[in-house]
Structure 1
Amino acid sequence: MSTRSTASTPNQVGGADRAPAQVLRLAFALFLSYLAVASALPVVSTYTVHRLHLSNAMGGLAVGIAFFSTILTRNYAGRLVDQHGGRYAMRRGLLIYSVASLICLLSLLPFFGAAIGFVVLLAGRLLLGVGESLVVVGMLGWGIGLMGAPRSGKVMAWVGAGMYGAFAVGGPLGLGLYDAWGFAGVMAAAILFPLLGLALIQGVAGVTPQAGRRESFWRIIGRIWRAGAAVGLQGVGFAALGAFISLYFQQKGWPYAGVGLTAFGVGFVLVRMVCGSLPDRIGGSRVAIVSLIVEAIGQFLIWSAPGPALALVGALLTGLGCSMVFPGMGSEVVKQVPPQLRGTAVGGFAAFQDIAYGATGPVAGVLADHAGYAMVFLIGGICALLGLAAAISAHRQPAAESS
């Protein structure tokens, strides 16, 4: 079954470009649906340890298995977008989000017991990762189809704003729901949010998938690996700061341990708001090259800071730098493949960042145990410089033919 509508690109009615307003609706739907991920994130491990009476390691597994599932299904999501359209993939992903949260809710049933309840929880979390792939890659494909490839950088910036906005709101929201109504309250909200998103996008036109020659996933990765490496290496500093900046301040005995994440978030959101269309105007690789330099400076400042003020400046610079690497290099990925392969290419590109986020925490934790938290930010700065080399290489790569 295929959703092959006849929307133009960009979508124009009576001379007015309706595409930006439609893509903003998709971004808000993504924000709503991603609350199902973000609100559950801080409470799943707590529920596993305190309600199911399992170990901290099992709590970590329950959190991380959704991200593992996301990585494994990026290729599937991309293929679905290429064959049936972003609307088809995103709508199904939203439904899967709700079903996954319902399965997690069922783990509370008392006759399951702790062991079976945990297996049910893991099944729900695995399915949640599938939904995340379909929603994000589906919205990217749908949004680029509506706006047109020349404005793909703006679409990717809006996708990031929806996702990270949900993380900013979802964490406190999930903890508040958990305190008030327990795990059942969090999962009930996680069932509802994607359904609200699904209702919001009902009136947005689909885009006809492009016909053309197919290629294997690994051949497509061969085209885009430079851009993928740049965004993955950028993600090391992002993930390391999120996991360890507060602990670094505490180890040093510095005040304002919680302000580091705030400084990072302010920088990240500010650049997304002000510079969202910059990759489309001056070139995505140029934006990413400058961004990675700024990130590297920020990471090295945190590593070498003699006091909290300079470390906070480093956190702000890291946020400023990290913000536009994904939309910048993502807009280059769109140029490297013909239209009928964009969904698969964007899915593969996003997987590089997923892997970086998933691997950084454990690896950086080992480094911190043996060499201190400062070493984590030194490695983050080095990775940003390696990402800079990858971005420069991608900048020199010629664009693909359009068909």
Structure 2
Amino acid sequence: MIGASPINWAMLVAGNEHTATAISYNEIACYGALAIGAPLGVILSKNLGMEHIAIAIFITALLGLVYTSSLKPVYGNSTSEQIPFLKVLKLVTPFGICLGLAGLGFGGLSNFITLYYDYFNWNNAALCLSVFSSLFILGRRLFSNQINVKGGLNVALICLITEAIGLFLLFLAPNESLALIGAAIAGLGFSLVFPALGVEAVKLAPATNAGSALACYALFIDLSLGATGPLEGTVINVFGMKYLFLFCAIMVVVGILIVIRLMNKKQTAI
């Protein structure tokens, strides 16, 4: 609910022609919080205790609630006919699957990077997540307009290839310095996957279904992150910790193949 609602809110305020920008800046805020939160959580835990992380989260959420409650509600004004929810879900599913596959790389970093660093006896695992998030934000800030210039599928393809390269580098990294470079490249690649595919997915539904289309599409990243623990945990148990990011990279390559198929299908339709 928190993930999809603010994006839809921003889309209503900015207008459909600024969908990519609305999605991009929302995710900048989200991953900016992640970049700050990882090291901040370590500091709070070490100096004040684990329970103070929970207190900080509660206070932050309360401040967000107070702020949003003070703002005027925004409503859509489209008169186009709505289509059933399941039909919307069917329309966005191919794009959502690509997003979910790309999300496995982020999920591997956020859930297992500490264990991955510990496996190789490396230090500063939190820094790896911060570097990923920082390059994610930089990519969104510098290149989000390329979605309007080159098209969502073209940008998504470039981003997925970049993310796969970063994940392969993480898998091959012999030390923590190269692992940081791999995380940076993966973060840069993942940065525009959500808005690039999201713009294409939302276009398929009527304007009155834009919110539900976005919610259906965003559902796949939630499913991806939810499946990360058991799925990648199984990979680690069966093949070993060192193959974690190889698995993530292969999943992103599958996403690349799906995007290429979507591009061919779109070209054929034209």
Taking structure 2 as the reference length, the TM-score comes to: 0.86
Q: Select which of 37, 48, 55 maps to 1:179.
A: 48
State the 1:188 CA deviation: 4.6
Matching residue within 144, 158, 161 for 1:276 = 144
The answer as to 2:168 corresponding to 1:300 is yes
Instruction: Look up the match of 2:259.
Output: 391
Contact 2:102 2:160 in 1 (8 A): yes
Match of 1:350 in 2: 218
1:353 Cα offset (Å): 0.5
> What per-residue deviation string (whole Å, max 9, x for no partner) do you get for residues 80-121 of structure 1?
xxxxxxxxxxxxxxxxxxxxxxxxxxxxxxxxxxxxxxxxxx
Partners of 2:135 and 2:56 lie apart in 1 by 33
Post-superposition offset of 1:328: 0.6
Q: Where do 1:106-185 residues align within 5 Å?
A: 133=1, 135-170=2-37, 172=40, 176=44, 179=48
Distance 1:208 1:253, change over 3 A: closer
Specify which of 101, 112, 136 is matched with residue 244 of structure 1. 112
Tell me what 1:213 maps to: 81
How far apart are the structure 2 equivalents of 1:174 and 1:136?
Answer: 24
Q: Is the 8 A contact 2:36 2:130 kept in 1?
A: no
Residue deviations 1:311-366 (CA, integer Å, cap 9, x gap)? 22211111111111001101111211111111111000000000000101222122
Change (3 A) 1:140 1:260: closer
1:230 is aligned, of 98, 103, 128, to 98
Do the aligned partners of residues 345 and 146 (structure 1) sit closer, same or farther apart at CA in structure 2, a change above 3 Å counting? same
Contact 1:154 1:280 in 2 (8 A): no
Question: What residue identity is the alignment partner of 1:272?
Answer: R
Which whole-Å deviations, capped at 9, do the CAs of 1:174-223 have from their partners, x for residues lacking one? 97499388556753553233212332x33xx7343322333222211221
Distance 2:126 2:34 in 1: 16
In structure 2, the partner of 1:51 is none
Alignment of 1:47-86 (within 5 A): none
2:69 to 177, 180, 198: 198
Per-residue CA distance 1:53-79 (angstroms, 9 max, x = gap): xxxxxxxxxxxxxxxxxxxxxxxxxxx
Partner of residue 382 from structure 1, selected from 245, 250, 263: 250
Instruction: Give the Cα–Cα distance (whole angstroms) in 2 for the partners of residues 391 and 379 of structure 1.
Output: 19
Report the AA paired with residue 239 of structure 1: G
Aligned counterpart, 1:74: none
Say what the alpha-carbon RMSD is for the aligned residues: 2.6
The unaligned stretches of length 5 or more in structure 2 are none
The secondary structure found in structure 1 opposite 2:48 is helix
Question: Please, which runs of 5 or more residues in structure 1 have no aligned partner?
Answer: 1-132
Q: 1:323 — aligned with what?
A: 191
C-alpha spacing 1:274/1:188, structure 2 compared with 1 (3 Å): closer
User: What is the CA distance between 1:170 and its match in structure 2?
Assistant: 4.5
Q: CA 1:187/1:329 → structure 2, altered by over 3 Å: closer, same or farther? A: same
Paired residue total = 263
CA deviation profile, 1:212-243 (whole Å, cap 9, x unmatched): 33322221122111111111100001100122
Q: Is the 8 A contact 2:3 2:218 kept in 1?
A: no
- Contact kept, 8 Å, 2:160 with 2:252, in 1: the verdict is yes
The separation in 1 between residues aligned to 2:109 and 2:251, in whole angstroms, is 13
> 1:332 and 2:200 equivalent?
yes
Query: For residues 55 and 178 of structure 2, what CA distance do their matches in structure 1 show?
Result: 43
TM-superposed CA distance for 1:306, in Å, is 2.7
User: What is the rounded CA distance, in whole Å, between the counterparts of 1:302 and 1:258 in structure 2?
Assistant: 15
Q: AA paired with 2:238?
A: H
SS across alignment from 2:221: helix
Please tell me whether residue 371 in structure 1 is matched to residue 239 in structure 2.
Answer: yes
CA distance, structure 2, for counterparts of residue 237 and residue 336 of structure 1: 27
SS of the residue aligned with 2:128?
helix
Q: Compare CA radii of gyration and give the structure with the larger one.
A: 1
Greater relative contact order: 1 or 2 (C-alpha under 8 angstroms, separation 6 or more)? 2
User: Partners of 1:279 and 1:215 in 2: how far apart?
Assistant: 26
Amino acid at match of 1:166: A
Counterpart in the other structure of 1:54: none
Is contact 1:263-1:315 (8 Å) kept? yes
Q: Report the CA distance shift for 1:282/1:249 in structure 2 as closer, same or farther (over 3 A).
A: same
Q: Taking structure 1 as the reference length, what is the TM-score of the superposition?
A: 0.60
